[in-house]
Amino acid sequence: MTEGPSSPRRGNWYLLTAALIGLGLGLIYAWVLSPVRYVDATPASLRADFKDQYRLLIASSYIATGDLGRAQARLALLKDADPAQALNAQAQRLLLAGDPNHASTVLIMLAEAIQPGTVSPTPASFPLPVSTVTRPAETATGATPIAISSPILRPSVTPIAISSPILRPSATPIAVSSPILHQSATPTSTPGEPFVVTKQEKVCDPSLASGLLQVDVRDAAGRGVPGVEILITWNGGQQQFFTGFKPQLGDGYADFTMTPGIVYNLQLAKNSAQVTGLSAPTCPGQAGTTYIGGLHLVFEQP
């Protein structure tokens, strides 16, 4: 016996087909005809690469204006757990990628400025030539864009246009010469001068990590030089790391953890002789025991 047109089974199939058609039409409407448009989204909701651009703009604005409070307020909008660490991490990514425009410099400078205890908003350890930018300046009647001469980036850096939402539409541009930094600032390192090893010592300190290789890079005046690439190689491997990412230990400080029993060779990418035969030493402990110590190297310009 066959089922009639109004049988329950066929009626259920009609309902399922109708539901699928309705779902398809809803998706077409939501994705094609009227998709969601985000308007006035907060910086914290930006994609990761856009957040990197936002941090770079904040750092460039800070170098031009010296306004640390405004820079910190803008960084807070990104809601990073540790703004200084986020800036350092972005600078390290740029250095590993080659950083042709030296944008990592301004990121490291801002990261140092917001560290507890930092006083100078523009550390002297960064040699910066003069470049001209436009920055906002507060007046009694409102915010006014001011043309200033300020050391910002190295010569190969492309100037970054910064759009500040704090300026009022009625702002009137005026031309004023107001340098933020002294233009004749002494550079921290002499281009072309090689770095030489002035100290190589064994470190026996049980409070430090086992096999810790500490490197200090200093200019001719004895000041730490940040952003210096360090190449370390061993049998079957190599790694690069940079100075300046632990400013609380010094602008020219960097470290690497050695594996006991492996011999390493180390060289600065910025013109230095290679140091060979580095390995984690054995240090005497209490009650006749031993533990793995570390090494400390100091590179300086003559």
Q: Alpha helix locations (H) across 29-119?
A: 48-65, 68-76, 83-96, 104-113
Domain boundaries of the chain, sorted by first residue: 44-175, 196-300
Q: Per residue in 237-262, is it b (16+ CB within 10 Å) or e — as a string?
A: eeeebbbbbebeebbbbbbbebeeee
pLDDT tens by residue, 8-35: 556 678 788 888 888 888 888 888 887 8
Count of CB atoms situated within 10 Å of the CB of 50? 11
Q: Which of 24-38, 88-102, 139-153 has the lowest mean pLDDT?
A: 139-153
Closest CA to 58 of 9, 107, 16: 107
Note the pLDDT tens digit of each residue in 42-78: 888 888 888 998 899 998 888 888 888 889 989 999 9
Q: How would residue 157 be classed by pLDDT, with cut points 50, 70 and 90?
A: very low
- Model's pTM, two decimal places? 0.44
Give CA separation, 148 vs 98, 133, 152, 167, in Å: 30, 6, 11, 17
Does domain 196-300 bear CATH number 2.60.40.10? yes
